[in-house]
Amino acid sequence: MKYISTRGSSEVSAISSAQAIVDGLAPDGGLYVPESIPQIKPEQIEAMGEMSYAERAVLVFNEFLTDFTQAELVYCTESAYNVVNFDTDSITSIAELFDGTYILELWHGPTCAFKDMALQILPFLLTTSMKKTEGRENVVILVATSGDTGKAALEGFSNVPGTEIIVFYPVDGVSQMQKRQMITQEGVNVGVCAVDGNFDDCQTAVKEIFTDPVISKKLEKSGKTFSSANSINWGRLVPQIVYYISAYATLVKNGKIKTSEKVNICVPTGNFGNILAAFYAKQMGLPVNKLVCASNTNNILTDFINTGIYDRNREFYTTLSPSMDILISSNLERLLYHLSDAEHVRQWFKSLSETGRYEVTPEVKALIAETFVAGCCNDEETKAEIRRVFEKYSYTLDTHTAVASKVYSDYAEKTGDKTPVIIASTASPYKFGGSVIEALTGKPFEGDEFGSAAELRTLTHTEIPKTLADLAGKPIRFKDVSPKDKISDYVTKTLSI
Ligand SMILES: *Cc1c(COP(=O)(O)O)cnc(C)c1O
């Protein structure tokens, strides 16, 4: 399997998956995509029912990472998906809210958000890839985060030999718990810096550093190269395909759905990575009816899917679901490539960078509508949904998963669609404890992140994840705040280049 750029410039040749993982972004500014989509057979999905999560992952990786040996895949998957890193044997967990509605909990890893599913394995995929590609010995990971990616990447890369990691987060754009998780990060190879701006400012600045020839030269002189752990990296996406297929296999095994029965998948969306992985799973042959894209008040994707017009000339809102506060959904580029071609993608993204807007063709809009449905909800509706679900089903949703739950129940009510649904649950409610308490009690919560954890435990009779409880004893290591146009200085200083 070879990988090509979504922008398809002639100077970008097809490369191996290892090279795509090391490079992160294609040299023409596009994203790497597989040349074709491999197929998974119904028998393979059924056989998965008897496998461990790591074995299920090998089965999927075999199709995409064809330049990895079997031994390498086993090493990577077993190093990541084990009970030291995850608090459940099954790695992910499925809660049945009510008949045919399944919450796929993707937050049983060390940072209590779904990003662990990819970022626990990425360091192994990356260091293995580095060994397989020539001349790459030391890699510097730059991450722009709206909260969860940063901590998950820090946790994944901390003290991994041959790697350094620097994380930037919007100073007022992450939850108290997320901030605490990042500023207390341990490890000799980590840097964390707050940015006076929003997530898109962080992401844009990181992209510029990647392509800055002066910084690249300096870095090269010190024997290092940049790579990305953001969800644009193929090594982030491919592990996310696994859990959709895995969840389906588990539902079949438990007799909840029949082999080949279709399911809907609903995903709370920001950068479009998680839902894109579900799209790949569908293209591989997983029986999926609709993919439901759920957004908060930053509903640029809802508008896009419904109108074919992507327009980021709009107000940016800080919401109760901060990991979805995004106006540039990078991974959408991959979907557009698969539904059209590199020439169109180039045209649209040129238009996006020049005017902040593009409009896809009616054909592409129709192709999107065949698979995707989109909806959004605001903070008040999010809180009401947390309360409704808790009162009705005694299940506690975090703010992001609540957006998905609300959008899905609106969709099901409006259309009468009775297809079983897998709702991706992307964070533990303890990560956004203050907001969840406010939703449950109707009163704002005034305390700090540890106070909210204790309170939420009392309210919901659930356990505080150990990794969050342990943060209380850890010293604060990172206090820097950078203006958004100065983050390259933080990078050169931290790396001493
Ligand atoms: C990152 C994140 C999302 C959005 O995922 P994308 O892949 O960016 O669409 C949703 N919820 C939580 C909790 C997240 O951390």
Instruction: Residue 97: give its domain's CATH number.
Output: 3.40.50.1100
Which residue, chain included where needed, has tokens 């991959």? 334
Sheet with 421-425: list strands edge to edge: 93-98, 101-105, 421-425, 263-268, 288-295, 372-376
Q: CA 74, CA 78: separation in Å to the nearest integer?
A: 6
Q: Give the nearest ligand 1 atom to 148 CA.
A: 15
Residue 406: inside a domain: yes
Sheet with 163-170: list strands edge to edge: 224-228, 138-144, 163-170, 190-196, 481-483
Q: Give the nearest ligand 1 atom to 273 CA.
A: 7
The strand pairing partners of 5, in sequence order, are 32
Which residue, chain included where needed, has tokens 């949904």? 385
Residue 281: inside a domain: yes
The pLDDT score that the predictor gives to residue 229 is 84
- CA-based angle 274:226:209, to the nearest 5? 90
Residue 364: inside a domain: yes
Query: What distance in angstroms lies between residue 202's CA and the mean position of ligand 1's atoms?
Result: 16
What is the CB-side half-sphere exposure of residue 438 using CA atoms within 13 A?
15
Q: CA 89, CA 433: separation in Å to the nearest integer?
A: 25
Amino acid letter, residue 185:
Q
Radius of gyration of the chain (CA): 21
Listed residue (102, 381, 98, 408) closest to 266, CA to CA: 408
Q: CA 477, CA 186: separation in Å to the nearest integer?
A: 8
Residue 408: inside a domain: yes
Residue 415: inside a domain: yes
The pLDDT score that the predictor gives to residue 136 is 66
Residue 2: inside a domain: no
Length of the chain: 497
The DSSP code for 117 is H
Residue 451: inside a domain: yes
- CA-based angle 329:323:94, to the nearest 5? 105
Among 292, 386, 400, name the best residue to mutate to test ligand 1's pocket (greatest count of ligand atoms within 8 A of Cβ). Answer: 400
Taking the complete model, does pTM exceed 0.85, yes or no?
A: yes
The DSSP code for 7 is T
Q: CA 337, CA 151: separation in Å to the nearest integer?
A: 30
Atom 14 of ligand 1, residue of closest alpha carbon: 323
Query: What distance in angstroms lies between residue 426's CA and the mean position of ligand 1's atoms?
Result: 6
Q: Give the nearest ligand 1 atom to 400 CA.
A: 11
Q: Of 2, 115, 484, 493, which residue is the catalytic one?
A: 115
Q: CA 438, CA 167: separation in Å to the nearest integer?
A: 30
The DSSP code for 473 is G
The pLDDT score that the predictor gives to residue 15 is 96
The strand pairing partners of 172, in sequence order, are none
DSSP H helical segments within 254-308, as ranges?
A: 273-283, 300-307
Amino acid letter, residue 46:
E
The pLDDT score that the predictor gives to residue 9 is 77
DSSP letters for 399-413? HHHHHHHHHHHHHHH
What is the CB-side half-sphere exposure of residue 269 using CA atoms within 13 A?
36
C-alpha distance from residue 437 to each of 90, 174, 275, 447 (Å): 29, 17, 28, 11
Query: What distance in angstroms lies between residue 409's CA and the mean position of ligand 1's atoms?
Result: 20
Count the neighbouring beta carbons within 10 Å of the beta carbon of residue 463. Answer: 10
Which residue, chain included where needed, has tokens 């309170």? 455
Q: Give the nearest ligand 1 atom to 277 CA.
A: 7
For the chain, give the mean pLDDT: 94
Active site residue 217: no
Residue 447: inside a domain: yes
Q: CA 106, CA 93: separation in Å to the nearest integer?
A: 7
Pocket of ligand 1 (CB under 6 A): 113, 115, 148, 231, 268-274, 323-324, 400, 426-427
- CA-based angle 369:375:381, to the nearest 5? 170
**Backbone φ and ψ of 96, nearest 5°:** -90, 110
C-alpha distance from residue 379 to each of 16, 162, 325, 412 (Å): 43, 42, 12, 20
Domain that holds residue 443: 93-111+253-463
In this prediction, the residues of the chain whose per-residue pLDDT falls under 50 are none
Q: Count up the domains in the chain and report the number.
A: 1
